[in-house]
């Protein structure tokens, strides 16, 4: 049997392709790598309760590129806007929740995104509650982390999420004149 140059070239072209079609995928888009990255993403939760001990909110916190993303679902609250913050201590003692301390502020700044000396890492947008007593909010706590470090929400002593009775004015130090604390939940690693 005589091999021609064309036949030999065709065979050489087929064999490398056959070796690549074994069903294994490597590189940044492989399914295994994506699953590993998802498992490595840190998450935390908080169950928010009112002064009577009734659960009025559930928050899921996820480590992100710019900070910690917080997804809150709330119920059984007064319609309107409510201040919503991360507080510096992981303790929620009813009825006033003052045990949660002040806003989480590891960078030692003033309160509010509209304050030239602000804002706290724990400052978040207002939560809007509808006429049915329910509301949802997704926000990023910029500069916060669930990993170790001074900006960690899982630091020794913990941190908490707090919902206030009134809206946050986004500028008045130290708490935006948001009024009483009506719900609180300790942030815990999931």
Q: Of 54, 76, 120, 132, which one is the catalytic site residue? A: 120
CB 89 within 8 A of CB 103: no
181 is a catalytic site residue:
yes
Set 71, 76, 180, 181: catalytic member: 181
Set 114, 123, 132, 168: catalytic member:
123
Catalytic residue among 85, 96, 132, 173: 85
- Judge whether 108 counts as a catalytic residue: no
Choice among 164, 169, 173, 177 that is catalytic: 164
Pick the catalytic residue from 71, 76, 87, 169: 87
87 in catalytic set: yes
Which of 103, 108, 132, 180 is an active site residue? 103
Which one from 111, 132, 169, 173 is the annotated catalytic residue?
Answer: 111
- Is 82 among the catalytic positions? no
Q: Mind telling me the catalytic residues?
A: 85, 87, 103, 111, 120, 123, 164, 181
């Amino acid at each position: 049997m005589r091999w021609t140059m064309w036949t030999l070239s065709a065979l050489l072209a087929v064999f490398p392709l056959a070796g690549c079609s074994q069903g294994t995928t490597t590189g940044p888009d492989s399914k295994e790598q994506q699953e590993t990255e998802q498992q490595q993403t840190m998450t935390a939760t908080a169950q928010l309760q009112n002064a009577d001990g009734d659960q009025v909110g559930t928050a899921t916190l996820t480590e992100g590129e710019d900070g910690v993303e917080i997804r809150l679902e709330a119920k059984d609250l007064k319609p309107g806007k409510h201040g919503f913050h991360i507080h510096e201590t992981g303790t929620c003692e009813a009825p006033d929740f003052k045990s949660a301390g002040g806003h989480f502020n590891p960078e030692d700044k003033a309160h509010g995104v509209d304050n030239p000396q602000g804002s706290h890492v724990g400052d978040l947008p207002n939560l809007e509650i509808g006429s049915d007593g329910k509301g949802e909010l997704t926000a990023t706590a910029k500069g916060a982390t669930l990993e170790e470090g001074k900006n960690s929400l899982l630091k020794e002593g913990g941190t908490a999420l707090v919902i206030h009775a009134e809206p946050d004015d986004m500028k008045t130090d130290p708490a935006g004149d948001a009024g009483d604390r009506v719900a609180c939940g300790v942030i815990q690693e999931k």
